[in-house]
Amino acid sequence: MDVYWLEQTEADVPGENQWLSAPELLCLAGMRFAKRHTDWRLGRWTAKCALAARLNLPTDLSALANIEIRAAPSGAPGVFLLNQPAPVTISLSHRAGAAMCVVALAEASIGCDLEMVERHSDAFVADFFTANEQALVERAFAEERPLLVTLLWSAKESALKALHEGLRLDTRSMDVSLVDADPPQAEERLYDSCPVSLKAPAPDGWRPLRVRYGSARVFRGWWRLADDMVRTIVSDLSLQ
């Protein structure tokens, strides 16, 4: 499955609102807090730009108003074109003045997340990570533990979005592995037996990961570090 992704920042968002649909304008008008207002506009702008690029749609502001992002009962974003459901799946994330959107031209379970690399307490790791993940953190290079903890958390967030559950689920119900390689018939090497540098160069900046939920469901995905921010993308289908 091919996935298109796009990032935008607050500086990319137009000051005017003619790129929003009438229902979106009503939704925006009902927001009381400035940060929520800013984050919501950034997320919608990023999603519409990503969809227009992926679907070869016009990108002028009035045309973007024909692309509408509606929240499903689960909270997951749905896409409508000229008030009709579009055969695409998207996921959104925003953090620290940046937003990310992934688009898949298929009905798929897909999720993305954007996180600032920051330190977390031992209590955070104990409360939210599985025993396998805690052991992985313990074996990591000390200087890379903030990155690793952020990455594991981000992968969980992406999987929770793919499940359309968010933090309603226990984050310990899913287990994240960092996959060194994933050839069809080769034995898989997991970063679970010795310290491995997370900052070593990757050919295109993206590295594989895997999230196992329960006993049977597996989400495959990718992660990337740039500008002290981690991006993760997962799906229950193979990503390209």
**For the chain, which domains are there?**
3-108 (3.90.470.20), 113-235 (3.90.470.20)
| Mean pLDDT of the 163-175 span | 86
| Mean pLDDT of the 42-59 span | 96
Q: Which residues of 142-179 are buried (b: 16+ CB within 10 A; e: fewer)?
A: eebbbbbbbbbbbbbbbbbbbbeeeeeeebeebbbbbb
Contact 211, 174 (CB under 8 A): yes
pLDDT at 190: 36
DSSP symbol at 194: S
Least confident stretch, 73-77, 96-100, 188-192? 188-192
pLDDT at 166: 72
